[in-house]
Amino acid sequence: RKEVEQDPGPFNVPEGATVAFNCTYSNSASQSFFWYRQDCRKEPKLLMSVYSSGNEDGRFTAQLNRASQYISLLIRDSKLSDSATYLCVVNGGNTPLVFGKGTRLSVIA
Amino acid sequence: GAGVSQSPRYKVAKRGQDVALRCDPISGHVSLFWYQQALGQGPEFLTYFQNEAQLDKSGLPSDRFFAERPEGSVSTLKIQRTQQEDSAVYLCASSGQGAKGSPLHFGNGTRLTVT
């Protein structure tokens, strides 16, 4: 089992829709969790950290479920500019940050 | 500039050539990471420095890959006798904190094509 697993998608959604991505991780010792966004042929950029109590940043909500070892990202009122690949990132104890393969989102007009 | 800077942006090498990729992290950042990203994949960890010390090189795929950060700032990733499977984007990232769980700031990457 890979350390971090994501559904690769693509998720094709209309503008204004709500979309959610899940990500599972295998290392129960993981302490830090992030969502990164990567546009085509660009570098990954931090979207948001994920905190134990869950956190929100505008239209984006991230949640962590330690018991089931997954994190989620919810995007409300999708915009065309949200089209990108969303990378789930986890650190595990002494290991550096491990990236999932990413979930591709296309928001359609 | 304020961000992580990588050079060259693009590199084409013939199979068997040696290449050197440079990373200039954000000033003052102690942690520096190298990742390899193949097309359609997420970034894969290669190696990690804290200041000049290489603390983890478990992700380097073979002994043809070598990284250094002699003065704790600029880092170079060297690939000897390049092979076609080395074709990928090589991403450098830095972090202002020593802890490995801190968010990373990435450079634009170097796209290596081995022909």
Distance of CA B82 to the CA centre of its chain: 15
Q: What is the structure's pLDDT at B100?
A: 57
Cβ atoms A109, A78 nearer than 8 A: no
The predicted model gives B85-94 an average pLDDT of: 97
Q: Can you give chain B as a three-state secondary structure string?
A: CCCCEEECCEEEECCCCCEEEEEECCCCCCEEEEEEECCCCCCEEEEEEECCEEEECCCCCCCCEEEECCCCCCEEEEECCCCHHHCEEEEEEEECCCCCCCCCEECCCEEEEEC
> Picking from A37-41, B40-44, B67-71, B94-98, which range would have the lowest pLDDT averaged per residue?
B94-98
Interface of B with A in 15-54 (CB under 8 A): 33, 35, 40-45, 48
Kindly report, residue by residue over A16-74, the tens digit of the pLDDT. 999 999 999 999 989 899 999 999 999 999 999 999 899 999 999 999 999 999 999 99
Q: Do B101 and A31 touch (CB under 8 A)?
A: yes
Query: What digits encode the pLDDT tens for the residues B19-52?
Result: 999 999 999 899 999 999 999 899 999 999 999 9
Compute the average pLDDT of residues A78-105.
91
A interface mutation test: which of B106, B108, B113 has the most A CBs within 10 A? Answer: B106
Shortest Cα distance, chain A CAs vs residue B87, angstroms: 15
Q: What is the mean pLDDT of residues B58-66?
A: 95
Question: Å from A38 to nearest chain B CA?
Answer: 10
Look at A94 and B102 and tell me if their CB atoms are within 8 Å: no
Residue B1 has pLDDT above 70, yes or no: no
Among B2, B4, B3, B1, smallest CA distance to B75 is for B4
Please judge whether B33 and A91 are an interchain contact, meaning their C-beta atoms are less than 8 angstroms apart: no
- 3-state DSSP percent of chain A in helix, strand and coil, to 5: 5, 60, 40
| Whether the Cβ atoms of residue B54 and residue B33 lie closer than 8 Å to each other | no
> Smallest Cβ distance to A96: which of B45, B107, B109?
B45
Question: Which residues, 6+ apart, have CB-to-CB distance to B99 below 8 Å?
Answer: none
DSSP A3: S
Neighbour-count burial of A53, counting CB atoms closer than 10 A to its CB (0-12 exposed, 13-18 middle, 19+ buried): exposed
Tokens 């700031």 identify what position?
Answer: B105
Contact A60, A48 (CB under 8 A): yes
Q: Do A97 and B101 touch (CB under 8 A)?
A: yes
**CB A4: neighbour CB atoms within 10 A?**
24
Question: What pLDDT is attached to residue B97?
Answer: 67
Residues in chain A closer than 8 A to B108 (CB atoms): 42-43
Could you read off the pLDDT of A71-90 as tens digits, one per residue? 999 999 999 999 999 999 99
